[in-house]
C-alpha cells in the first residue's frame, strides 16, 4: 500500500505544476490599450489608481443628505437601490456609488484591505467635494468597508447604514403587532468574539438572548444570510417553542404551478440552485450544508427570499 505521505506529495507536486503552467491572462485595465472602454466618470487616487463612480438623486449642491453607497460581493456601483424617485426628491438625497477596487471600471489594488477601502471612500468624498459630513451605506458584504470607516477615518463625521436582503414596512409591523430583536453574532459589530464559536454556541446565544429580555417560550427566529444558526436552534434548543423562519422556498411544492416554480428556480444564482437541488434530491447530503466550514462552498452570497 502506497504510504499516505507519497500521495500527498504527489498531489502537491501536481498542484505546483498546474500553477506554473496555467497562468492567468495579463490584466487589461479599463481605458488602457487593448482594455475595455471607460463608460463611467472616474477619479484618480493618490496611488495612481482610477476609481469609477456613478451619481444619482438630486443635484449635489442642493442635497440635504449626501450618501456614498458600497456595493456587495457580486455587484458593482450600478446595483439598483430600492428607493423611489419621489422619496429621493422629497428628502433631497444625493447618492454616489463606486466600483470597489478591481470591480467594474475601477483599477485593481493588489494591497486591498479594509483600511484601503475606507481611505478610497474618504478620497472619493474629498474629490467630489461632499464636505466634512456624509453618510455611508453598505450593502451585504459592502458592510465591512463602512465598518472600516469607523476605524480608519474617525476624523470625518458620517453616519453608517448596513443593508441586507430584508425590508420590513412599518405599516406591516404595526398591523401584525411584530416585535423585532436583532443581535450582532459573536465577533460581529460590537459583540465580543467567541474563539469556540460554532453552530451550537450560536443557538445557545439565541436562547440566552430570548431569556434575558423575557420573550417567553415561544418566539420566531428569522434571518438574512444566517440560516445555519436557525437550523441549529431546532437541534440544540428543541425544548423551546421556537419557529425557524428560513428565507428558502420549496420549488417542488406540488400545489404550486410547475412552470412558475421552474422559472423562479432558474432565476436563482447557480450556488443557490445547487444547494436547493442537493437538499431536495440527495437530502442526506444536505446536513453538511449547515456546517460553517462547508456551507460557503455550496451556498450563494445572498439568501434566497
Q: What is the mean pLDDT of each run of 10 residues along the chain (305 residues)?
A: 76 84 80 90 95 94 91 86 82 93 93 91 94 85 81 70 49 67 83 86 85 75 55 66 50 78 83 78 57 44 35
> What is the pLDDT, as a whole number, of residue 46?
94
- Beta-bridge mates of residue 221: 244
> What is the pLDDT, as a whole number, of residue 297?
43
Determine the angle formed by the axes of helices 199-211 and 227-236, rounding to 10 degrees.
80
Say if pTM beats, i.e. exceeds, 0.85. no
Contacts of 139 (CB under 8 A, 6+ apart): 69, 70, 71, 72, 75, 79, 162, 163
> What is the pLDDT, as a whole number, of residue 142?
82
CB atoms within 10 A of CB 79: 15
CA-to-CA dists, residue 210 to 130, 177, 183, 230, angstroms: 42, 18, 11, 14
What distance in Å separates the CA atoms of residue 226 and residue 248, rounded to the nearest whole number? Answer: 12
**How far, rounded to the nearest angstrom, does the alpha carbon of residue 65 sit from its chain's CA centroid?**
24
Phi/psi of residue 9, nearest 5 degrees: -65, -40
> What is the pLDDT, as a whole number, of residue 166?
44
> What is the pLDDT, as a whole number, of residue 259?
85
Domain boundaries, the chain: 42-163, 170-298
What distance in Å separates the CA atoms of residue 68 and residue 177, rounded to the nearest whole number? Answer: 34
From the list 80, 88, 82, the residue with the least C-alpha distance to 59 is 88
From the list 192, 194, 184, the residue with the least C-alpha distance to 226 is 184
Instruction: Check: CB of residue 127 under 8 Å from CB of residue 95.
Output: no
Q: Which CATH class is domain 42-163?
A: alpha beta
Amino acid at each position: 500500500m502506497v504510504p499516505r505521505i507519497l500521495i500527498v506529495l504527489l498531489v502537491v507536486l501536481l498542484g505546483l505544476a498546474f500553477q506554473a503552467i496555467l497562468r492567468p491572462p495579463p490584466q487589461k485595465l479599463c481605458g488602457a490599450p487593448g482594455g475595455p472602454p471607460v463608460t463611467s466618470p472616474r477619479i484618480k487616487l493618490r496611488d495612481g489608481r482610477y476609481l469609477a463612480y456613478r451619481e444619482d438623486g438630486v443635484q449635489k449642491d442642493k442635497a440635504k443628505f449626501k450618501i456614498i453607497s458600497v456595493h456587495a460581493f457580486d455587484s458593482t456601483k450600478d446595483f439598483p437601490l430600492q428607493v423611489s424617485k419621489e422619496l429621493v426628491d422629497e428628502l433631497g438625497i444625493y447618492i454616489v456609488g463606486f466600483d470597489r477596487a478591481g470591480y467594474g471600471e475601477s483599477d485593481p489594488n493588489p494591497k486591498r484591505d479594509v483600511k484601503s477601502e475606507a481611505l478610497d471612500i474618504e478620497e472619493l468624498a474629498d474629490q467630489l467635494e461632499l464636505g466634512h459630513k456624509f453618510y455611508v451605506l453598505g450593502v451585504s458584504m459592502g458592510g465591512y468597508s463602512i465598518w472600516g470607516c469607523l476605524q480608519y477615518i474617525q476624523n470625518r463625521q458620517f453616519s453608517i447604514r448596513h443593508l441586507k436582503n430584508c425590508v420590513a414596512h412599518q405599516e406591516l409591523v404595526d398591523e401584525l403587532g411584530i416585535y423585532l430583536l436583532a443581535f450582532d453574532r459573536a465577533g460581529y459589530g460590537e459583540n465580543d468574539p467567541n474563539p469556540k464559536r460554532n453552530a451550537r454556541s450560536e443557538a445557545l446565544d439565541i436562547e440566552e438572548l430570548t431569556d434575558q429580555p423575557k420573550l417567553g417560550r415561544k418566539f420566531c427566529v428569522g434571518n438574512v444570510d444566517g440560516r445555519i444558526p436557525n437550523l441549529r436552534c431546532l437541534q440544540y434548543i428543541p425544548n423551546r417553542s421556537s419557529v425557524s423562519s428560513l428565507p428558502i422556498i420549496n420549488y417542488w411544492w406540488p400545489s404550486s404551478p410547475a412552470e412558475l416554480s421552474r422559472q423562479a428556480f432558474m432565476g436563482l444564482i447557480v450556488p443557490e440552485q445547487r444547494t436547493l437541488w442537493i437538499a431536495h434530491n440527495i437530502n442526506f447530503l444536505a446536513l453538511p450544508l449547515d456546517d460553517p466550514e462547508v456551507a460557503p462552498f455550496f451556498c450563494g452570497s445572498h439568501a434566497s427570499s
